[in-house]
Amino acid sequence: MKNLKQLFVAFIAMLTVVSCGDPELPVELQPEMQYGAYARKMSQTGKFDYFDIAGSKIDIHVEYYDEAKGANIAEYDIDVEYKDITGGGANSVPRTDLKTISSSPFTTNSEGYLSSDITLGFQEALTALGVTANDITGGNSVIFWFTITKTDGTKYDFNNTGPSMMSSSAFGALFRLNVGIVCPSNWSLGMLNGSSTDDGTIGANGWAYSPSDVQVELTAVRGKDNQYTLSDISVGARDMLYLGGPSPGGYRTVGPKFIDNCNVTSMDGAGDFGYGFELVAGSVAISADKKVFSYKWRSEYGEGGAVTLEYVDGSTWPDLYN
């Protein structure tokens, strides 16, 4: 680690140079070098949760590097920007000042380098940008820009620092930080009372079936924090259609899954015969008391139906839509 940190100092010494410009040499000699500076990100925790703006923050621990183990750094400036990815940039907010961290609270670590803890609050960022929760959406990004000012007035930022200094895990120079706005999905898991009825899709293809009332189980897709599946996505409809009624050994369509992206709900995946399933656009709705989740589904085979789901234990649904 000691040798690695000596290499860091060698690198920042090469950030800015003054050339002697000898025309007889194939390369320019650089006998005089100006030492640069940067903050190395040592750790990062937290997230920006769209559903908990006030309680969301990013905590970062940084270590400062210059020719004097950070002692010649005067301040660390932080700007913030909102990038509207989902809306094609229509609601983006340009870079603006967030705050300046002076060197006075820097502490010296066990290896003699100055370091500090930095907290970036979600609400703090929105306030600086002049927007509220109504102006942003999940899936977009808050971008933080960092500038180091040394005691001699020289500044180092994203634009005058080599990309290898920032992209390398060894150096980890923190001049830009992209924080995605996430929407943790919070569907309750368990048994549901389900009802499936013909909404005209199957009848339009010459088929008909009676309404079914069955229990199905909602489970999370392993390794995915925003995807769910039912023990039968058709909620008994295919049993009614092909077998005339619920059957323990009947059709259990388990391949398709619900995807929750900041309460925007979609369906993806294939059924037991390999054809895809999807939700009818605009069909997802939650009742006023949040007890009933209703939607319409279609399959590539021409099947379809209208479904309602209600938790057996009385749990409520998020404000889902599509």
* Domain limits, the chain: 39-182, 190-311
**What's residue 15's pLDDT?**
45
**Distance between CA atoms of residues 39 and 65, nearest Å:** 6
Per-residue pLDDT at 20 exceeds 90:
no
Q: What is the pLDDT of residue 209?
A: 62
Confidence class for position 276, pLDDT limits 50, 70, 90: confident
Q: What is the mean pLDDT of residues 70-84?
A: 95
Q: pLDDT: is 320 or 254 the higher one? A: 320
CATH architecture label of 190-311 = Beta Barrel (2.40)
Please state, in angstroms and rounded to a whole number, the distance separating the CA atoms of residues 188 and 21.
69
More confident residue, 285 or 275: 285
CA nearest neighbour of 144 among 89, 88, 189, 99:
99
Between the ranges 137-151, 166-180, 198-212, where is the mean pLDDT highest?
137-151
Query: How far lies 80's CA from each of 30, 160, 227, 252, in Å?
Result: 36, 18, 32, 50
Structure confidence by residue, pLDDT tens digits, 142-160 = 999 999 999 999 999 989 8
Structurally, at CATH architecture level, domain 39-182 sits in: Sandwich (2.60)
The CA distances from residue 266 to 185, 263, 280, in Å, are 13, 9, 9
Mean pLDDT of 244-266: 76
pLDDT band at 19 (very low <50, low <70, confident <90, very high): very low
Higher pLDDT, 30 or 163: 163
Structure confidence at residue 246 (pLDDT): 60
At residue 319, the pLDDT reads: 92
Are 233 and 218 in contact, with CB atoms under 8 Å apart? no
pLDDT in the model for residue 152: 93
Those residues whose C-beta lies under 8 Å from the C-beta of residue 147, and which sit 6 or more positions away, are 76, 77, 78, 79, 155, 156, 157, 175
Q: Where are the alpha helices (DSSP H) in 130-224?
A: 163-167, 201-204
Query: What does the pLDDT read at residue 242?
Result: 72
3 has a pLDDT exceeding 60? no
**Is 90 exceeded by the pLDDT of residue 251?**
no
